[in-house]
Amino acid sequence: MARAHPLDLDPSLVGPRTYLSRRRWHLLDAASALCVAAALGMLIPAHLVVPGLTGIGRPATAFGVILAIGWLATRLHPQLAVHGPQPLRWAAAAYLTAMLLAYVSGVLRGLPTLEANAADRAVIMSVVYVGVALVCADGVATRSRLDTLLRALVGLGTAMALLGHLQFALELTIVEHIRLPGLVDRRDAIEFRARGAGLFQVASTTLHYIEFSTVMAMLVPFGIHAVRFSQTPLGRLAALGGTVLLAAAVPVTLSRTGMVGLAVGLLVLGWCWGWRIRYTVLVASMGLLAALVVLRPGLMGTIRAIFIYAPDDPSIHGRTEDYDPAFGYISQRPLLGRGPGTFIPTLYRVIDNDWLIHLITVGVVGTAAYAAWHVTAMSLAAVAYRRASRAEDRHLCACLIATQVMAMVVAAFFDAMAFTTHTLVLSILTGAAGAMWRFTHPARQVRSSGARLHR
């Protein structure tokens, strides 16, 4: 039997002088539902959708809508609602309110059909994004179940990484041969893109190379966490293998964004590590890079080149040339923007900066709410870090802080919210910050918050 987490030994108050064990869980609980959502988003190729649903037709997105509706239903039922406070709910309310105000602003300016449909999809995706996070923050019943969810994320990410490595080694776009009953191709699977001498970028099951790199980068800290705190030698060995695959997948994508994100995440984690762990991670990183040099000649030279010659890279020029037009659009409707999702690349231009896209589409109000969402999650994890007395809990909180910092940084390099695998993983990890804040709260009624029994 797995060792019980001390936080889960505290009885759960469910009614006047009525307590239940917090170690009890059911097969169909919030953690299980989130594992299913993660599996749908990370294992099913992004180009496969439910017929007739187009932009929001990914199975993970459809299931996310169900989760968001389920969370709302629990809030409307007195015997199902979680009665303890949760600051993430206020951040979610602010973000969704800002999105709806921007949506109304867009409708009032008059939207062509293409933009109106895109605005509808953007609002739905925003509901899914915050809804999944709130299911995690309010619904995961115990600290042990949160560990199970995070281990599942690492395992699913390892499967994605393994597929990416196979694509890179075999030079075969494996995902284009995957067919699932009931799903159709929304578009062709993304093809390999040459980068460097004889090398190319791979995307695994995601929609783009950058998305694949950021998902891998976000999961590396949790792989390291599993290596450090798994309960058995076999568990630590499995976590080590998975973490190596995750970390190696980031340079294999040949994406600057993922590599910058991973570096930022490790720097944040390094702040809470002792010198021994910093040295171990540094040596392991050097060993991994050396292995990549041997296994894939030319890889390190290409990686070095994409940073050294970045000022001459056409993609960098394209990003910087977008700034003046972007601020021109922002100046037209600075407060509430043009409407969520309405800045369609095929109609206007591609802008690989999610912060600029937010300023254009939802204005200063929506962008401030978007930033507040990240800062709230980061603050909740920081508060939980200060409250926690065990090294395992403190390290997990540090991983959650690193995730938010990484997400805010990489959002400046691509339109992050347009990629559903990235947003799904980030949403779950954001909700985990709210869950850790709840699990470490000094008040028992909040710490063991759950549906109450009414007599």
The per-residue pLDDT for 111 is 87
Q: What is the pLDDT along the chain (455 residues), one digit of tens a residue?
A: 345 666 666 666 555 666 555 555 566 789 999 999 999 999 999 888 888 776 678 999 999 999 999 999 988 877 777 778 899 999 999 999 999 999 999 999 888 889 999 999 999 999 999 999 999 999 998 899 999 999 999 999 999 999 999 988 887 778 878 888 888 887 766 666 666 666 778 888 998 889 999 999 999 999 999 999 998 999 999 999 999 999 999 988 888 999 999 999 999 999 999 899 999 999 999 998 888 888 877 777 777 877 776 666 666 766 677 778 888 889 999 999 999 999 988 888 888 899 999 999 999 999 999 999 999 999 999 999 999 989 999 999 999 999 999 999 999 998 999 899 999 999 999 999 999 999 998 887 777 766 554 33
- Structural domain includes residue 280: yes
Q: Which amino acid is at 221?
A: P
Those residues whose C-beta lies under 8 Å from the C-beta of residue 442, and which sit 6 or more positions away, are 387
**Within a domain: 454:** no
Q: What's the CA gap between 146 and 39, in Å, rounded?
A: 16
Predicted pLDDT of residue 37: 96
For residue 201, give the 3-state DSSP assignment. Answer: strand
Which residue range forms the structural domain that includes residue 388? 6-447
Rounded-to-integer distance, Cα 77 and Cα 81, Å? 6
Residue 175 in any domain: the answer is yes
Alpha helices (runs of H) in 140-255, residue ranges in sequence order: 143-170, 209-229, 233-252
| pTM for this prediction | 0.91
The answer to whether residue 455 sits within a structural domain is no
Q: 193 lies in a domain?
A: yes
In-domain check, residue 452: no
Long-range CB pairs of 92-95, under 8 A, 24+ apart, other chains included: 92/130, 92/133, 92/134, 92/373, 94/369, 94/372, 94/373, 95/126, 95/130, 95/366, 95/369, 95/370, 95/372, 95/373
Assigned domain for 54 exists: yes
> Reduced to 3 states, what is the DSSP secondary structure of residue 120?
helix
Question: Is position 85 within any domain?
Answer: yes
Q: Domains in the chain: how many in total?
A: 1
